[in-house]
Amino acid sequence: MSEASKYKRVILKLSGESFCRERESGISMTEVAQISQQIKDIVETGVELAIVCGGGNILRGKQFSAVSAAIHPSTAHYMGMLATVINALALQDALENEGVPTRVQSAIRMEGVAEPFIRRRCIRHLEKGRVVILAAGTGSPFVTTDTAAALRARELGADVLLKATKVDGVYSEDPEKNLHAVRYTDISFRDVLKQNLQVMDAQAIHHCMEHEIPIHVFNFGVPGNILRAIKGKKIGTVVHA
Ligand code: UDP
């Protein structure tokens, strides 16, 4: 076992963009394999890990329904949730190729491909050292997988929500638009809301704030960063109560 994890149980939110190449869509198994190697390293610390998959690399309900009146917004959101299942299955095989035992649990029942999400069963898998990949978000339309991650963090009693993204953390302004934007090493939930900073969607922030679940935002594109976050190293931004 490598150097210990700072946390006992962790929720890792992987957005859809982690499943494809930069500025592309769909799934690249090369990208998924790279992230799986990083995940394997953190599993070796002994941490209990549940991963919430996004689906934005395939479809986001809000965007999809905005361009066509032919699709009901609810339908588009269900399509988005199914996209997260596609990602979850890709991640499962990539992790198992690395020798990491996994289970996929889906918030929308689909017996042929995944177990249903059952809290107590999920916890049992975690206790046995299996990585649980949580698919289909909350199972309800009009929210995002950020909210799903916050809810699951609460339900599963996670110590932290890790948000792996393609930016280095939370900035005072969009760093692509303003070169003088500064990155916070840590910031309170209240300040995130007051300054309307784009960390996670507002529902997810409110949920984590209410239940005092810290959110650690960092760039997964830097090899070893997920492991650094698990060990509590000072990378990215920690949003706290
Ligand atoms: N979604 C939903 N309910 C949920 C989670 C997700 O309806 O509980 C839909 C929503 O349309 C969302 C899409 O699934 O846009 C994909 O998830 P998300 O946008 O959160 O993926 P990410 O941005 O993390 O890639």
Q: Which of 84, 108, 163 to mutate to test the pocket of ligand 1 (most atoms within 8 A of CB)?
A: 84
| Reported ipTM | 0.99
Residue 89 CA: distances (Å) to CA of 14, 94, 113, 125:
13, 9, 8, 17
* CB-count burial class (<10 Å; 0-12, 13-18, 19+) for 12: buried
Average confidence (pLDDT) per 10 residues, the chain, 241 residues = 84 96 96 96 96 98 95 98 98 98 98 98 98 98 97 98 94 89 96 93 95 96 94 96 95
Handedness of CA 108, 112, 116, 122 (dihedral sign): negative
Q: Which domains does the chain have, with CATH numbers?
A: 9-240 (3.40.1160.10)
Q: Which of 32, 60, 146 to mutate to test the pocket of ligand 1 (most atoms within 8 A of CB)?
A: 60
What's the pLDDT score for residue 1?
A: 46
Is 191 annotated as a binding-site member? Answer: no
What's the pLDDT score for residue 175?
A: 84
What's the pLDDT score for residue 106?
A: 98
Cβ pair 33, 94 in contact under 8 A: yes
